[in-house]
Amino acid sequence: EALKRLSYEGFVDLHPNRGVTISTVSPHDAVEIHQLREGLEGVAARMCAVNHPEDIILQMEQCLDENAEAFLSGQYSKAIGFDNKFHTLLVAGSGNARMIQITEGILHQSGRANFLQATAAARMKRSAVQHRNILRAIKKSDPDLAEKYAREHMRDVQRFILMYQKTHEV
């Protein structure tokens, strides 16, 4: 049952009479995953700006500070963890339980592709700026701008992953 669930979530491929292999993230998969994230996180950012959950906003700010600290100390893996936490908090700030549940699975799937950012310092810096823009719009209670920045960020991540896969023939 556990393997069936992992297969359903896209983490493994089941091969009858041959076993199980860890699935890869194809360029097509990356596009689909980030299209979903663009829509969901865009709406989540909008809702977060409207709801203005102070506790989550403070956690997001702390997360971005810890991300910067980890990046500057060369702990890129740790920085990616804070990057993922920022996105989890963003969706939590929507206050929409179904969106939180759906996004959790998608974040896990995209995490396999997003770790590639740890190899690109310029991408991580750009991501940090984009996260700060999203948070600034949320703090200003500007739902249009928060959604715009969140969607632009996801499109930028998608472009990076596709370029990386093409360049490295992943």
What's residue 7's pLDDT? Answer: 63
What's residue 12's pLDDT? Answer: 57
Which residue's entry shows tokens 């690109």? Answer: 120
Cβ neighbours for 3, distance < 8 A, ≥ 6 positions apart: 12, 14, 20
Angle between helices 27-51 and 97-114 (to 10 degrees): 140
What's residue 126's pLDDT? Answer: 93
Query: Residues of the chain whose pLDDT is less than 70?
Result: 3, 5-13, 21-25, 112-119, 169-170
Asked if 50 and 141 count as a contact pair (C-beta separation under 8 A), the reply is yes
Asked if 36 and 91 count as a contact pair (C-beta separation under 8 A), the reply is no
What's residue 39's pLDDT? Answer: 96
What's residue 77's pLDDT? Answer: 83
What's residue 123's pLDDT? Answer: 85
**Cα–Cα distance measured from residue 7 to residue 57, given in angstroms and rounded to the nearest whole number:** 35
